[in-house]
Structure 1
């Protein structure tokens, strides 16, 4: 078996289906963006619901929306009729995912969802399906073929769903003016969050936690000062407390290799000037 050929076939099929999705984008997509935008601007949220693989894709879409400034939650369809409908509030918008539009567990909770003052967007493959007919808006995710050689395992269908969810989230992001600062605010633990939000005062050492020495200090004195504050470097200052240089633990190690008596030398002779 040629594994690379088989893998290439999978990717070719999914690329083909994504191109078909691109060609089908139309007014309903724009309306969906506007509906979600209006909901979020009015402090409502997106409630995402799906079953099986569609449920997994829905969870990812909800996470992407939430992390880009549009609050979203996942409704567990299996527990919806046993109290979990409480995640829905009037004014929310429901994004319901089902490849066929006929998923029994999802259809079972539609009447209960309809009792709320919410709009429903159906992401499925058949505009005549029960789900689409009970929704306010239909987003078409139909495919010609799954990438599965048996044409059974959800592959192309889930890829198309996820891509359309990404498109919704990213267009919505721009429509709502969500910027890098907003992203950083929601991702303080990530690199972007740290680079945008972190300030020098949050990570710098205050004067009392620094090793500060004068130019006439010996290297031995400098090491003692560094050790006392657990610092890897010492700053060397002049008579007016202006910064003249810096001496690091690395400097000590490098000089010690050529001069074991470095401890008696003045730091002024070995420091890095104008750091």
Structure 2
């Protein structure tokens, strides 16, 4: 039997050594970010102003790992109020440069600043009169010298133990992109509801865009009885409605009370052996029920229900008339909570 080649397949380090390697990598990246933050100067503010003045889009470009970072930066900008797109620099030399217009701003990313693919298109970008922002670890590089504004993302060393694999440098690029996006969204007055409009399919979009009317049970599906209804009729309406409660409404359709499963249980427990058939809805209802409007955010209705420890609320129109109901199951189905 041929013995295993231990030189080609060294034994894996123990847990302590692996944790030490991870902490060392993280510490290297933390130090790189701290140094970059300390170097931040007026050029960053200038870059923000260039983008704010842009009437088109921010076109982000980069090769290799910088390209992967660039795609994320473009996505972050686009989702926070700054129209942006990614263009691969190699493809730009073969026709995609036509995606860039005179109203755009180009953000080129290269740690060395000497990427051949970027260097090939920089003169064309300059000839178009398009502002060029550079994100590079070498401000004196070819890219740095041609850029209108340079954002210094240099790091002392990579987190890779051989100081080769882009690690700390790509973290610095990513963080600088986030800083740029945050500064821009603040300058634009970008609010959570603006963010939600660009994320309608996400959890935040559902929370900030879903209204009570979108998830409530309409009036025909809302159990309701008049105050003179017998307890038996009230319980029958409650069971048929599947809401765990029934509204008690006056002749004008205005809710004057609510009767819930919990109210029924407490009523039975408080009067053991008593004949409850003579009771009316008006006798057993909980007066002044909690209500919401159809135009209220569903998440606000959820907060109201949580605050008052209730599972259902009645929905009323501007005249106070009952138009529907909402309970916690409706909110969970809509993924609002």
TM above 0.5 = yes
**Partner of residue 19, structure 1:** 34
**Partner of residue 109, structure 1:** 121
Is 1:237 equivalent to 2:243 in the alignment? Answer: no
Give the aligned CA root-mean-square deviation in angstroms. 3.2
Task: Give the alignment of 1:56-71 within 5 angstroms.
Answer: 56-71=68-83
Residue of structure 2 aligned with 1:274, choices 265, 274, 288: 288
Residue of structure 1 aligned with 2:43, choices 14, 28, 41: 28
Is 1:142 equivalent to 2:154 in the alignment? Answer: yes
Is 1:157 equivalent to 2:169 in the alignment? Answer: yes
Structure 1: segments with no counterpart, 5+ residues: none
User: Whole-Å Cα distance in 2 between the matches of residues 113 and 233 of structure 1?
Assistant: 67
User: Whole-Å Cα distance in 2 between the matches of residues 227 and 77 of structure 1?
Assistant: 65
Go from structure 1 to structure 2 and tell me whether the alpha carbon gap of 1:52 and 1:270 turns closer, same or farther (over 3 Å shift): farther
The 8 Å contact of residues 91 and 117 in structure 1, kept in 2 or not, is answered as: no
Q: Secondary structure at the match of 1:234?
A: strand
Task: Give the alignment of 1:77-88 within 5 angstroms.
Answer: 77-88=89-100
Is 1:10 equivalent to 2:25 in the alignment? Answer: yes
Q: Secondary structure at the match of 2:53?
A: helix
Go from structure 1 to structure 2 and tell me whether the alpha carbon gap of 1:216 and 1:114 turns closer, same or farther (over 3 Å shift): same
Is 1:173 equivalent to 2:197 in the alignment? Answer: no
The 8 Å contact of residues 218 and 263 in structure 1, kept in 2 or not, is answered as: no
The total of aligned residue pairs comes to 272
Give the deviation of 1:240 after TM superposition: 5.1
Residue of structure 1 aligned with 2:137, choices 113, 121, 125: 125
TM-score by length of 2: 0.69
User: Whole-Å Cα distance in 2 between the matches of residues 19 and 8 of structure 1?
Assistant: 16
Structure 2: segments with no counterpart, 5+ residues: 1-13, 290-337
Q: Any idea what the Cα deviations from partners look like across 1:164-214, whole Å, max 9, x if unmatched?
A: 111111112222222334333333445554554444334334433322112
Go from structure 1 to structure 2 and tell me whether the alpha carbon gap of 1:209 and 1:135 turns closer, same or farther (over 3 Å shift): same
**Partner of residue 91, structure 1:** 103
Q: Secondary structure at the match of 2:89?
A: coil
Q: Secondary structure at the match of 1:79?
A: helix
User: Whole-Å Cα distance in 1 between the matches of residues 163 and 192 of structure 2?
Assistant: 41
**Partner of residue 215, structure 1:** 227
The 8 Å contact of residues 184 and 197 in structure 1, kept in 2 or not, is answered as: yes
Q: Secondary structure at the match of 2:185?
A: helix
Task: Give the alignment of 1:38-77 within 5 angstroms.
Answer: 38-39=53-54, 42=55, 44-77=56-89
User: Whole-Å Cα distance in 1 between the matches of residues 226 and 243 of structure 2?
Assistant: 16
TM-score by length of 1: 0.83
Q: Any idea what the Cα deviations from partners look like across 1:103-161, whole Å, max 9, x if unmatched?
A: 22322333443443311111111122222223222211111111111212211101111
